Amino acid sequence: MADDSQRFVADHVVGLPRSGIRDFFAIVAAMPQAISLGIGEPDFVTPWHIREAAIFALEKGKTSYTDNLGLIRLRREINTYVEHNFELSYNPDNEILVAVGVSEALDIALRAVLNPGDKVLYHEPCYVSYSPSILLAHAQPIAISTSAEDQFGINPDAVEAAWEPGCKVLMLNFPTNPTGGVTERAKLERIAKFAIEKDLLVISDEIYSELTFEGEHTSIATLPGMQERTIFLHGFSKAFAMTGFRIGYACGPAPLIEAMMKVHQYSMLCAPILSQEAAIEALKNGGPAVAKMKAQYHRRRDLIVRRFNEAGLTCHLPKGSFYAFPSIQSTGMSSMDFCQGLLTEQEVAIVPGTAFGPSGAGFARASFSTSYERIIEATDRIERYVDKVRK
């Protein structure tokens, strides 16, 4: 077949970069012996009682569409959960939308609020989809760099410096994938004040919030004057180990949820009913399983960070998420060279920091969503590799 169909692809899609993770993991896929610390999802299987709820729903013949916003029973449970864990309250009738994962929620939030040419502030290194999602909404991404000195929390001064006329949205993601960074309350308060002053809408992706190991997680939506200008995004993938169920939600002011619902109903219609049933079970009875997994992530984090520092790679303590983000600057190598060398010589896969934006240069992301045994073996190999490249 003639390969000239490229001419049909939209200009703004042609310009989108491919995910750096994808290219790198094509190589890993061909190395079955390699230990991968590159996985961006829990190694745990969804707790059985949640899976069983989905099976039970299927047995009962629940195979239909649901309300565009999601099952009202689920939206009520979401409100109860959010009230209890985040001290936020939303009306289940018109302020909560159930989406196909936070990824969809983020996409429809951006598409619902952005006009072509609007500008969106986001912090970097960040999840690979942020900048592309903004571009797909025909808006202009403006990155705010975060640094190891700030433990990859966002610096309010940097937000103010990055702002320019035309900025409409500020996107936040704490704890952050890939750095595990969080931003303490005092700084969030300054950012909130600035958002009010500049009339910014905040879209806050808090998917890793349950996996906060140090201190209390604070949602920016709880700060004075913020709930009415914040779209709070959350989901089940990380804390409940439900990535494949593809289910998340957005909470926010009714007019914004209504606008998002329009985009959602014409593209997705509704989230799968079986996933919604599983999500209800997760919210009702998933607490103990989440606590158990969190305790294990916590120990793995302490182990991997200690081992990186012993191996000579300075690593800050990620306060949340299941990622460590060690600096590889002491080796004098670029992120990509380091990770490729590590993969070919020691068969350990970690992700070059640059996959998460230019400010990830000099770092690499290592997921500790794997067993103690594999973390020990992988970090032993990394230590051998670092010793060798330093000589």
Partner 1 sequence: MSSVLQLLLEGEHLNTAQMAQVLGLSESDISAELKRLEGEQILLGWRPVFNPERAQETIVRAVIEVKISPERDGGFDRLATRISAELKRLEGEQILLGWRPVFNPERAQETIVRAVIEVKISPERDGGFDRLATRISRFDSVESCYLMSGSYDLLVIATGSDLREVATFVSERLASVEGVLSTATHFMLRAYKEQGHLLLSPNEDSDKPAVSA
- Minimal CA–CA distance to 178: which of 354, 387, 25, 15? 354
Q: Is 302 one of the binding residues for partner 1 (CB under 8 A)?
A: yes
Exactly one of 10, 115, 373, 391 binds partner 1 (CB under 8 A); which one?
373
In the chain, how long is the greatest CA-to-CA distance?
65
Nearer to partner 1, 76 or 374 (CB): 374
Nearest distance, CB of residue 306 and partner 1, angstroms = 6
Exactly one of 100, 289, 313, 366 binds partner 1 (CB under 8 A); which one?
289
Extract the tokens encoding 30. 């061909």
- Minimal CA–CA distance to 100: which of 271, 315, 228, 300? 271
Nearer to partner 1, 88 or 303 (CB): 303
Q: Is 376 one of the binding residues for partner 1 (CB under 8 A)?
A: yes
Stretch that binds partner 1, among 199-207, 241-249, 295-303, 342-350 (CB under 8 A): 295-303
Q: Is 58 one of the binding residues for partner 1 (CB under 8 A)?
A: no
Nearer to partner 1, 306 or 390 (CB): 306
- What angle separates helix 273-285 from helix 72-86, to the nearest 10 degrees? 40
Q: Is 267 one of the binding residues for partner 1 (CB under 8 A)?
A: no
Exactly one of 148, 259, 290, 303 binds partner 1 (CB under 8 A); which one?
303
Nearer to partner 1, 238 or 307 (CB): 307
DSSP designation for 204: E
* Count of alpha carbons within 13 angstroms of residue 90, beta-carbon side: 33
Cα(215)–Cα(26) distance, rounded to whole angstroms? 38
Cα(44)–Cα(191) distance, rounded to whole angstroms? 35
Q: Is 291 one of the binding residues for partner 1 (CB under 8 A)?
A: no
Q: Is 63 one of the binding residues for partner 1 (CB under 8 A)?
A: no
Residues 233-266: b if buried by 16+ CB within 10 A, e if exposed:
bbbbbbbbbbbebbbbbbbbbeebbebbbebbee
Stretch that binds partner 1, among 41-49, 88-96, 138-146, 171-179 (CB under 8 A): 41-49
Q: Is 271 one of the binding residues for partner 1 (CB under 8 A)?
A: no
Instruction: Annotate 218-270 with DSSP letters as a single string.
Output: --GGGSTTTGGGEEEEEESTTTTT-GGG--EEEE--HHHHHHHHHHHHHHT-S
Q: Is 295 one of the binding residues for partner 1 (CB under 8 A)?
A: yes
Residue numbers of the site for partner 1 (CB under 8 A)?
A: 47-49, 51-52, 55-56, 59, 289, 292, 295-296, 299-300, 302-303, 306-307, 371-373, 376
